[in-house]
Amino acid sequence: MASKILVADRLSQPGLEIFAKAPAVELIYQPDLTEEQLLEAVVDVDALVVRSGTHLTAEVFARAEKLRVVGRAGIGTENIDLAAANRKGLVVMNTPFGSAITSAEHTIAMLMALARNIPQASQSIRQGEWKKDQFQGVEISGKTLGVVGAGKIGRLVIERALGLRMRILVYDPFLSTEAVQQMGAEQVDLEELQRQTDFLTLHIPLNGETNNLVDAQFLSQLKPGCRVINCAQGGLVDETALAEAILSGHIAGAALDVFSKEPPPADLPLLQMEQVICSPHLRAASTDAQVNIAVQIAQQVVDFIQHGIIVNALNVPSISAELLSEIRPYIELSERMGHFIEQYCASGLETVSIEYSGGIVDYPTEPVTAAFLKGLLLPMLGDDVNYINAALLADERGIKITEARSKTADEFASMIRVRVTGSTGEHSICGALFGTADYRLVRIDDYPVEAVPAGHLLVLRNQDQPGVIGGVGQVLAEAGINIAMMNLSRRKVDGKAISLIGLDSTVPEQALAALANIEGVLSATLVTLPEVE
């Protein structure tokens, strides 16, 4: 019986031809379905391919009884309920490389159009006007471009801006200074970038830490006359604050391809300003990119349906489905350890050493390493990173990865130990498997702990002295935060200790600062991980 593949958004013809020619595959091409029509269409399909226009909710997945794989033609997955897909055991793939060049080129195009007022001048001349003096612009050559986030697309923007003879400053705390220098740029802190930047461009994912990153305070610290470009994610820029900063004259203008709400409301103040140029989320909208994306996703979905091959998956590594079921607990543990390290001590990472011991070495460990790197890089790079390209992206960022394997396990039947070095020194974390599916953190910086890597975890480094724990409890109580679990670990009396505290809710910045100021506390770090499904 043929496998049914539903393509629910418009896809370039070369991609459709791959589906049409594949043996034992029935292509159902139905773009522009309504929500009700989609719920009916997915009932008996084996694969579902979408772009950004179709929203795949938990209800859609519940109705799709035979569905095994979702293909996202593009990078972003804001329109896909990944948690619901994971619960159903679906493989979700995207195409992370197909539109990188097009996205970078669109950023440069927006930069140049902004510098020379090209859209405004074009509109003026169409209205029968000839106002040369009104649209006087600025040169790009010799100006400073501030790049926030130097991942795949950010790196391509840097390469092209160097060709325009721009000076490049990079703020990316997860990149080593050497890696930035190899790009031909200069690594600086965020405050220094703000002081010197003539053009600011964003290339970071949207998450809890970056939402409204460019707010009123951020804008006030930018160099007067700076121009802001956002072709990355809507929500990175506080649109109200940006409009006010332009109106005051502090910011000279902005070029926006993305908005917090798309399409943006017609009365959005930014849309009424001559200093602002806009495009309707066109960063990947080139003929070349759309063909590349369509061909890639079609081949990936066909390979999965016919041979069980997983490529560019967001939620599983590229291995056979049979092996995946056996090593999934190791993969989940490793990815959570990567996410933990990213929040605990990932600033300026230089080396990552992963040691496998015990029963885990009976399996290939490459997917487990890829899962760790994905967990480590995902908060930095967002949808640009997956299980396939994580090692490459780590290498591009100057992070040296080494692996070691030992059949002998000292304390646990299977254990993963990770040691990292970076600007905060050397740190380590260990995770172990208990039984077939239960995994926990068992070491932090070689101090014994035990906790499921999920939820809100407060890591305290402190002197082993009276009063510390009481002070911590008081601060958390005053902030209305309940302690769910507490691990206290030390190596010797009156030495240093680590406390790992599980909390029922997050810790506000003010409370976190109060914890760090308790006498005897050396550092207080909040790590937030997804709950275990």
Q: Does pTM surpass 0.85?
A: no
Q: What are phi and psi of 326, to 5 degrees?
A: -80, -35
Please check whether residues 200 and 293 belong to one and the same domain: no
Confirm whether 456 is a catalytic residue. no
Beta bridge partners of 473: none
Mean pLDDT, rounded, for 318-337: 81
* CATH number for 487: 3.30.70.260
Please check whether residues 441 and 356 belong to one and the same domain: yes
Number of domains observed in the structure of the chain: 4
Would the pLDDT of 204 be above 80? yes
Would the pLDDT of 322 be above 70? no
pLDDT at 385: 75
pLDDT, tens digit, for every residue of 251-300?
A: 999 999 999 999 999 999 999 999 999 999 999 889 999 999 999 999 99
> Number of C-alpha atoms within 13 angstroms, CB side, residue 159?
10
pLDDT at 241: 98
Q: Which domain holds residue 484?
A: 454-533
Q: Which of 106, 203, 281, 339 is catalytic?
A: 281
Tokens of 152: 């795949």
Among 199-203, 227-231, 424-428, the range scoring the smallest mean pLDDT is 424-428
pLDDT at 340: 95
Please check whether residues 50 and 68 belong to one and the same domain: yes
Percent of the chain with pLDDT over 70: 98
Which strands form 438-444's sheet, in the order they lie side by side? Answer: 400-406, 351-358, 414-422, 425-434, 438-444, 447-451
* CATH number for 307: 3.40.50.720
pLDDT at 407: 83
378 — pLDDT class (breaks 50, 70, 90): confident
pLDDT at 136: 92
Pick from 453, 474, 498: which residue ends a domain? 453
Rounded CA gap, 408 and 123, in Å?
72
Rounded CA gap, 529 and 205, in Å?
17
Q: What are phi and psi of 223, to 5 degrees?
A: -55, 130
Q: Which of 40, 65, 129, 262 is catalytic?
A: 262
Confirm whether 281 is a catalytic residue. yes
361 — pLDDT class (breaks 50, 70, 90): confident
Mean pLDDT, rounded, for 230-255: 97
DSSP 115-140: HHTHHHHHHHHHTT---TGGG-----
170 — pLDDT class (breaks 50, 70, 90): very high
pLDDT, tens digit, for every residue of 400-432?
A: 999 998 888 777 888 999 999 988 889 999 999
Please check whether residues 274 and 292 belong to one and the same domain: no
* CATH number for 358: 3.30.1330.90
Would the pLDDT of 396 be above 70? yes
Mean pLDDT, rounded, for 232-245: 96
pLDDT at 517: 92
pLDDT at 198: 98
pLDDT at 317: 67
- Which residue stretches of 227-365 are H helix? 239-248, 287-307, 321-345
Which is more confidently placed, 82 or 323? 82
435 — pLDDT class (breaks 50, 70, 90): confident
Please check whether residues 250 and 119 belong to one and the same domain: yes
pLDDT at 533: 67
pLDDT at 402: 94
Please check whether residues 91 and 116 belong to one and the same domain: no
Please check whether residues 73 and 197 belong to one and the same domain: no
373 — pLDDT class (breaks 50, 70, 90): very high
pLDDT at 201: 98
pLDDT at 71: 96
Among 2-11, 101-110, 319-328, the range scoring the smallest mean pLDDT is 319-328
Please check whether residues 325 and 370 belong to one and the same domain: yes
Tokens of 136: 């006087």
Mean pLDDT, rounded, for 457-483: 91
Residues 6+ apart with CB under 8 A from 479: 507, 508, 510, 511
Residues 6+ apart with CB under 8 A from 431: 333, 334, 336, 337, 415, 416, 439, 440, 441, 442, 453
Mean pLDDT, rounded, for 320-337: 83
pLDDT at 222: 98
Would the pLDDT of 320 be above 70? no
Would the pLDDT of 243 be above 70? yes
Measured in whole angstroms, the distance separating CA 184 from the mean position of its chain's CA atoms is: 24
Would the pLDDT of 209 be above 90? no
Please provide the average confidence, as pLDDT, over all residues in the chain: 91
Would the pLDDT of 112 be above 90? yes
Which is more confidently placed, 267 or 177? 267
381 — pLDDT class (breaks 50, 70, 90): confident
Please check whether residues 407 and 429 belong to one and the same domain: yes
pLDDT at 319: 66
Pick from 419, 453, 487: which residue ends a domain? 453
Would the pLDDT of 464 be above 90? no
Please check whether residues 464 and 419 belong to one and the same domain: no
Please check whether residues 383 and 442 belong to one and the same domain: yes
Please check whether residues 242 and 108 belong to one and the same domain: yes
Residue 217: other Cβ atoms inside 10 A: 9
Residues 6+ apart with CB under 8 A from 338: 371, 372, 373, 374, 375, 376, 377, 378, 418
Rounded CA gap, 258 and 278, in Å?
8
Pick from 453, 482, 516: which residue ends a domain? 453
Would the pLDDT of 366 be above 80? yes
Tokens 């487990």, residue located: 368
Residues 6+ apart with CB under 8 A from 249: none
Tokens of 371: 């899962």
pLDDT at 275: 97
- Tell me the CA distances in angstroms from 358 to 101, 138, 363, 372, one per residue in order: 43, 63, 10, 18
